[in-house]
Structure 1
C-alpha cells in the first residue's frame, strides 16, 4: 500500500468535515477512512428527525460514491481498528489488514456516558437500555416500536430532549428525567427552561426535573423499572419507581481515547492536541469529541468545524515544514450555538448567567414563548440568550465577538438591530443640525 496515504480513523462528522476542507487537490495519493459502522457517513445531528420519521437515511447521507472517488478516498466500512504503530506508521485493522500512513487523523468521536448504578454496572446492558449517539441506537429504538408503550429518557441535555421528542412523535409515552432543575442547563437559564418544558409538556411528554436515578430493576429484555429519588427530598425518603419498557441514557459523553492511549499517544480525558491539532506522535492529528485541547473536550459542532479547518490546513502543507509553521492554530473563542428543540428556536452564546456586577437586559413574552436576555459588563455584551425570537442573534454575536461598546445603543439594544440603527441615524441627524 502506498505510504503517501492519509489514514483516517472514524467516519463521523468531524472527519468528514476535514475531508470536505481538503478538497480534491490534497497532497495524498490516497485517503483511507476506517469505520467501525456498516453505513456510509451520515449527519448525526439529524438522528432525532430520523427517529421521529421526519427524514430518511438517504436524506442525511451527504456524499455519494463519485464524491469520494474524485477525492481519492476509500471508505472501509465494518473495519474497526485493532492498534496503531506510530513508529512504523501503520494502522492495523481488526482483520489484521495493515494501512501504512504518511499522516494519521484520529477522529474516533465519543460514546454515551452511562452512569454506574445497579442495573448498569455489570458491564452488559439488556437490549432495552441504550444510549443515543449512533444509527445503531436509532435502529434499536425503531425495532422496539411495535411493542413499545413507554420509554424513559434520562438526561435532558440537547440529545435527551431530542430523543424524547422523537419517541413521542412515534406515538410512545415518554418520561424525561433530569438531575438539574433546569433543562439543557448548559445552554439555558431557568426562564428559557420553563418555556421549553411547557412546550414538551404540551406535546404530552412527562418532564421530571430535580430527579436522581438510583438504579434499574431489570426483568428480562421486555420490562424495566427505573428507581429514582427527588433531589429536593431528604436522603432517607423512600425510593420511587417508574415502570417502563425502554431506557435511553443521554447523560453525557466519554471521548474514545483508548486506541490512542494504547499506542502511547498522550491522553487525559481525551486525546491531547496542541493548537495545530497535532497529537504527541509524529504526523498524527486528532479533532472532535475524542480530543482534548487545553483541558477542554467538545460536544457541539461549532468549535469542531474550526478544528477541521486547522487540521486540513496542516495536512495540505504536510510536505512543507516551513509553511506549516506559519499556519494559524486553533484557539478557543465564543460560539453562537443555534438549536431548534421541539420546534423552539434557541440561540445561546457567551456567559448567559451573569457574574457579580453584571447587568441584565431582558424582554419576555412567555405566553408567546419569546424570551431575550442580554448580559452586559462594562458597556459590552458578554452573553446572550434568545428563545423564540432569534432574528437578531447573529448581530448580537457580532457585537459580543468584537467587544463592541454598546453605550450609544443601550436603550433599544434588546429590541434588535433595526431599532438601534434608527437611534444611531437620529443621533447623527441631530448632530448635523447642531453643526
Structure 2
C-alpha cells in the first residue's frame, strides 16, 4: 500500500546536524463542494498559514456553484463560468488538491484516511463535507438507459448529450420532482427544445415554500414556457422500448443499461412517453463514511454546536451533517457552519452554530418568490392576502397572536425581508395590516412599543 504522509505537528524533520524544523498540523477535508469552498475562504481569511491543507474531491473539478447547474443545462452559462475555485486556485494558496479520489475508510485511532487507490493520508484535523445525493424513488425498472440524476457537472453533461442525440425536436423528457431543482431542470430542457412533462407527487409546485394559490400561479407561468405537468401522482415504473417493466428496483444509472426508455407509468395508470427521465426529488445526506468508520450518525453525521462529530479530531458540515435533529440544504445555515468551524480551528474561539430560521428566496425561471415561516393558515391564525392576477402579484401574510407567523410572496418580493424582520422581532402588526399588506413603505415601527403605525 502506498502511503502519502502529511507530516503532523508532533513529527519533526531532522536532516544531518541541521536545526529541527516544526511542521504545520495537517488538515484534511473530504469533499469539495460549495461548503468546502466557503470553509477554505473562511480559513484563509483568518489563518492562511496555520495548516497544511489537503482537499480530497470525487469530481475532477475545483469547487463550483452547483446552484447554477440549471443555467448550464439551459445554455445560459458554461462550466467555466460557474467554477468558483479552478485547479490553479488551490496551487496558488498552497492547498494540496486530490481530484477524482474517493475516501473509503477513516482510521480514527491512527488518524489517517484510506483512499480507493490504496493510499493513506494522515491528518491532525479531519473535516467531512461529503454533501448529499439524489433521493431514491420507489419506481420499478430503474436500470433502463436514459434515466439521469441532476446533482453535478457529470449529470448535467450527460443530460445535455442525451438531449442532443437524434435532434432535440424528437426528444421527450419527464422530470420527476416539483421542487426548485426539478423546475429548473425542466426549464433548462424546455429551452433546449425538448418536450418536457414535470411529474410531482403533490398537487402544486414548491409545496413546501408556496401555498396552492402561488403554486398554481407558478404552474401557469411554467406552462407558457412549454412545460406540461402531471401533479398529484408518482412514477410507478419506467418502461423500456418494448413496453416491458421490471419487478426489480436497482439504482438509476446502474452499469447494466440494456434497454432504452420509452416512457413512465404513473400510479394512476397513466402512461407518459419519454426517451429521457431526470430524477430531481430531493436529497439524501452522504453519511456512509461515518457509518463504516464508527462515527455517530442518525439521518446524517451527528455534530455538536461546534461542528465536532463523536470524535473530537473529526468535524462535519454541510448537507452531510445533522445538528439538533436538523439536516441542511440551504446556503445560509451552511455558511454559518463554516464560520463556526473556522473560528474553532483557526482562532480557538467557541462560536456555537445556531440554526436560525431563514427565509426562502427563489428565482424560478425569472419569477421572484419569497416565503418564510408558515405557508398555510391554522385554526389559531388569521390570513391576509392581496392578489393581482393581471400583474401576477400575490401577497399572503399569516398572523398568529398579533404577530407575523408566515409570509408568501409571488412576483413582487421587495418587502420580503421587512416582513421577515417583523416576524423575527415579534412585532404586533394587526392594527395596520391593510397598509402592511401593500408594502413596507406604508408603515413604520415604533421601537418602544414594538408596534406598526402608518408611515
Mark yes or no: TM-score above 0.5: yes
1:223 corresponds, among 241, 244, 261, to: 261
Corresponding residue for residue 259 of structure 1:
289
Deviations 1:236-269 (A, max 9, x none): xxx2211210011112211110011111001111
1:329 aligns with 2:352: yes
Moved more, 15-24 or 260-269: 15-24
Deviations 1:83-127 (A, max 9, x none): 11111111121112221111111010111112133202xxxx344
Instruction: Structure 1: state its 5+ residue gaps.
Output: 231-238, 425-429
Listed as ranges, the matches of 1:88-103 within 5 Å are 88-103=110-125
Alpha-carbon distance, 1:407 to partner: 4.1
Aligned-partner Cα distance in 2 for 1:83–1:118: 32
Instruction: Specify the SS of the correspondent of 2:390.
Output: helix
Instruction: Specify the SS of the correspondent of 1:308.
Output: helix
Corresponding residue for residue 384 of structure 1:
407
Alpha-carbon distance, 1:50 to partner: 0.5
CA contact (8 A) 2:62 2:84 kept: no
1:194 aligns with 2:224: no
CA contact (8 A) 1:200 1:207 kept: no
Corresponding residue for residue 250 of structure 2:
none
1:363 corresponds, among 366, 380, 386, to: 386
Corresponding residue for residue 427 of structure 1:
none
Corresponding residue for residue 3 of structure 2:
none
Listed as ranges, the matches of 1:147-296 within 5 Å are 147=165, 148=168, 149-219=171-241, 220-230=258-268, 239-296=269-326
CA contact (8 A) 2:238 2:261 kept: no
CA contact (8 A) 1:352 1:374 kept: no
Instruction: Specify the SS of the correspondent of 1:363.
Output: strand
1:297 aligns with 2:327: yes
CA contact (8 A) 2:173 2:277 kept: yes
CA contact (8 A) 1:306 1:330 kept: yes
Corresponding residue for residue 101 of structure 2:
79
Corresponding residue for residue 154 of structure 2:
136
Alpha-carbon distance, 1:181 to partner: 0.1
Instruction: Return closer, same or farther for 1:403/1:69 CA change in 2, 3 Å cut-off.
Output: farther
Alpha-carbon distance, 1:37 to partner: 0.5
Instruction: Return closer, same or farther for 1:411/1:365 CA change in 2, 3 Å cut-off.
Output: closer
Instruction: Return closer, same or farther for 1:423/1:132 CA change in 2, 3 Å cut-off.
Output: same
CA contact (8 A) 2:74 2:188 kept: yes
Instruction: Specify the SS of the correspondent of 1:23.
Output: helix
Deviations 1:268-323 (A, max 9, x none): 11101111111111221111111111222122222212222112212213xx4xxx
Q: Alignment RMSD, CA only?
A: 2.1
Aligned-partner Cα distance in 1 for 2:208–2:26: 40
Instruction: Specify the SS of the correspondent of 1:367.
Output: coil
Aligned-partner Cα distance in 2 for 1:186–1:307: 24
1:32 aligns with 2:39: no
Instruction: Return closer, same or farther for 1:71/1:401 CA change in 2, 3 Å cut-off.
Output: farther
| Matched residues, number | 408
Alpha-carbon distance, 1:366 to partner: 2.3
Deviations 1:118-159 (A, max 9, x none): 202xxxx34411111111110111111223510101111111
Alpha-carbon distance, 1:65 to partner: 5.0
CA contact (8 A) 1:339 1:347 kept: yes
Listed as ranges, the matches of 1:39-58 within 5 Å are 39-58=61-80
Aligned-partner Cα distance in 2 for 1:66–1:141: 28
TM (norm. structure 1) is 0.89
Instruction: Structure 2: state its 5+ residue gaps.
Output: 1-5, 9-24, 242-257, 448-452
CA contact (8 A) 2:139 2:236 kept: yes
Aligned-partner Cα distance in 2 for 1:45–1:15: 15
CA contact (8 A) 1:199 1:342 kept: no
Instruction: Return closer, same or farther for 1:64/1:246 CA change in 2, 3 Å cut-off.
Output: closer
